Amino acid sequence: MSLLRVQDAHLAFGADAILDGVDFTIEAGERVCLVGRNGAGKSTFLKAIDNEVVLDSGQIQWVGDTKVTRLPQDPPKQSEQRVFDYVAEALAESGKALARYHELSASLTDSPSSATLDEMDKLQNQLDAINGWQVNTRIEQVLTQLQLPADETMAALSGGWLRRVALARALVVDPDILLLDEPTNHLDIEMVRWLEEQIVNFSGAVLFISHDRAFIRRLATRIIDLDRGHLTSYPGSYDTYLQKKQEALEVEASHNAEFDKKLAAEETWIRQGVKARRTRNEGRVRALQDLRKQRQQRRELQGKANLSVNESSRSGKKVFEGENMALRFGEKPIINDLDLLLMRGDKVAFVGPNGCGKSTLIKVILGMQDVDSGKVQLGTNLEVAYFDQHRSQLDPEQTVMDNVGDGKQDIEFQGRSRHILSYLQDFLFSPKQSRTPVRALSGGERNRALLAKILLKPSNILVLDEPTNDLDIETLELLEQIVANYQGTVLLVSHDREFVDNTATSVLYFEGEGVITEVIGGFTELNHYLAAKAENSFHNNGTKAAARESDSNKSSQNKQKTADKGSDKPRKKLSYKLQRELEQLPKVIAEKEAKLEELQQLMNEPGFFEQPLEKTEPVMSQIAEIEGQLMQDLERWEELENLSEQSS
């Protein structure tokens, strides 16, 4: 059943058409992802559905008493309002009454009075009449699930926690349609996984904007693409959308090329003299006028971003070394006995819950924060370019070109002079947009402007603090290429699983209580580490014991190989039994690798670790068992191959 229908929606800001005859419906149970380039109007479309933006023309029709709630792109402002009160505001009369009741209840301790008690008595009667206590329970449940402190003020919360509060406000309404604008922004990985499970189990319809490809692949049942004012629906998975979208763009480009060829021929004809044309064909002249009109109205394909980095001279080989580092903020341990060595070219992802100390450790690495104890040695010739997730380096009142070029018309980039407008076109800013104040840009466009600013700065260390927030997927993939090809060192804070997998050479995982573990690889390898940790009943010495056992096995095998090499006895051919074993091992290994891959895919599902331990432990035990068997099989295969070569 359709819950919402948008018909022939038109909306323009000046000469720019945001919605150009858009039609859209959403059914109960659908999870629709809205994609498109930064500035295409995705957030505006959600605001129009939520009646925050009025269409120029067209209709938005709701079925019955359909309830809708929207999670905005930006987190709420810091204020002295309590978390409970902010969330309760979404519930109109009952929420307002509950907020006031809790406020009065808290004030009784400091200033009890008969007037306060009388007002509380009236509010209690009001809440009884409108089932307000059920609403109170609902609010408390959502706050508990999101681990939010009900009595904390909004001013005391960081961006990630404010994002959680906004999410709680959206979920507490229990709507029929949930509108989510970049819901994973500022959320740590555990919260992203929790949110995925909430959306999967949500009985209503969900329309969401996201750049997180893993999130989209997990959730979307349909993709809708907003491109130059037109909305196209692609049923099926995200990967199906990518294929169909590319095919559609190729067809469009082919049609445009044929059209331009025909128009050029007609323009050549009309410019010929009367004798060359022989007779003036009035029908052909009118047809040419129609062609010109069509060409003027054609939606132009946008170019691709052309991101590159202004690398400086190389830093020293050793970028940072710390031994036995410890740091506390009050009673809270941030770093606990950490040894860390960073070399030039390392690309390190910092992963952990919001507020765990990721930014603090980066400051230690850059020499901006002292540790309480331990040895710290900074590298030499370090030039840092810092991408701040809060975009504090951008002045919202200044234009894009003044922000990026610091007011200069000509800039130095990669050893040559360029005009600032030319440079900004690489980041898809037209001359008109480049002269626009930053405050008028979308969130993704602001992030592109900040990227343009920091990539212009000569650097050999890139610090990227949540760089993927609000970026469209195309720009995100280009940023991946920049990070992968960057010759310097990259310090990356991100909860975008695919981005980290595609860029990081190692992960620093913040486990809590100041414990920080280095895992070689990306999120996939981090999941393997967590699985192994769970398999060993979450005891840290489990992994160390496995490593010692592996070292012991290798030592025994090396001794055996040395003994074999030192033997002067004539070597015999492999026995039939050993030859048969050698022939069968590749098949056995392939089967075990296939089974291991199947189990790892199951474990990598976002909701896997939300399940009870009795469901996850058997899977992780099987993974650990197969990994151990595979190691033995591979070593046995190598041993038999060596024997076979020696006997031949």
- Please give the Cα distance from 490 to 459 (Å, whole number): 10
Q: Provide the pLDDT for residue 375.
A: 95
Residue 313 falls inside a structural domain: no
- Known binding residue 353? Answer is yes
- Collapsing DSSP to helix, strand or coil, 441 comes out as coil
Q: Provide the pLDDT for residue 507.
A: 94
End-of-domain residue from the set 107, 128, 156 = 156
End-of-domain residue from the set 276, 302, 328 = 302
Is there a single domain that holds both residue 421 and residue 378? Answer: yes
Residue 355 falls inside a structural domain: yes
- Known binding residue 96? Answer is no
Per the structure block, which two tokens stand in for 152?
């904390």
Q: Provide the pLDDT for residue 42.
A: 93
- Known binding residue 132? Answer is no
Per the structure block, which two tokens stand in for 51?
């009646």
Per the structure block, which two tokens stand in for 347?
């690309």
- Known binding residue 488? Answer is no
- Known binding residue 469? Answer is no
- Known binding residue 345? Answer is no
- Please give the Cα distance from 104 to 92 (Å, whole number): 18
- Known binding residue 14? Answer is no
Is there a single domain that holds both residue 372 and residue 509? Answer: yes
Is there a single domain that holds both residue 468 and residue 396? Answer: yes
Angle between helices 541-566 and 613-647 (to 10 degrees): 10
- Say if residue 576 is exposed, middle or buried (CB neighbours under 10 Å; 0-12, 13-18, 19+): exposed
Question: Could you give the number of structural domains in the chain?
Answer: 4
- Known binding residue 443? Answer is no
pTM given for the model: 0.64
In one letter, which amino acid is 553?
N
- Known binding residue 36? Answer is yes
Within 10 A of 126 (CB to CB), how many other CB atoms are there?
Answer: 16
Is there a single domain that holds both residue 565 and residue 459? Answer: no
> Mean pLDDT of successive 10-residue segments in the chain (648 residues)?
92 85 94 90 94 94 89 86 90 83 77 80 84 86 89 86 90 91 86 88 93 91 92 90 84 80 75 54 71 63 67 86 94 93 94 87 94 93 87 91 91 88 88 91 87 90 87 83 88 90 92 92 86 65 47 47 42 62 82 84 70 74 80 77 71
End-of-domain residue from the set 532, 564, 587 = 532
Is there a single domain that holds both residue 516 and residue 481? Answer: yes
Q: Provide the pLDDT for residue 4.
A: 93
- Known binding residue 352? Answer is yes
- Known binding residue 359? Answer is yes
Is there a single domain that holds both residue 548 and residue 641? Answer: yes
- Known binding residue 381? Answer is no
Helix runs in 149-210, H state only: 159-171, 189-200
Boundaries of domain holding 122: 79-156
